[in-house]
Amino acid sequence: MLELFPEGFEERETGDGIELAAYTDAGGEERLWAAFGSVSASAVAADWETRWRAFHRPIEVGPLWVGPPWEERPADGIAVVIDPGRAFGTGGHPTTRLCLELLLALERGSLVDVGCGSGVLAIAAASLGFDPVVALDHDPAAVDATERNAKANGAKLDLRRADALADDLPRADHAVVNVSASFVREITDRLQSRNLIASGYLECEPPELPGFRHRERRVGDGWAADLYRAEE
- On the question of pLDDT at 121 being above 80, the answer is yes
**Cβ neighbours of residue 141 closer than 8 Å, sequence gap 6 or more:** 7, 85, 86, 87
The residues with which 225 forms a beta bridge, in sequence order, are 199, 218
Please indicate, yes or no, if residue 3 is contained in any of the structural domains.
no
pLDDT at 212: 96
Same domain? For 76 and 183 the reply is yes
pLDDT at 123: 98
- On the question of pLDDT at 86 being above 60, the answer is no
Burial class (CB in 10 A: 0-12, 13-18, 19+), 140: exposed
Same domain? For 39 and 69 the reply is no
- pLDDT bucket at 49, cuts 50 / 70 / 90: low
- On the question of pLDDT at 73 being above 80, the answer is yes
- pLDDT bucket at 147, cuts 50 / 70 / 90: very high
pTM of the model: 0.79
Distance CA 183, CA 189 (A): 11
Tally of domains within the chain? 2
Same domain? For 147 and 112 the reply is yes
29: containing domain: 10-50
Please indicate, yes or no, if residue 219 is contained in any of the structural domains.
yes
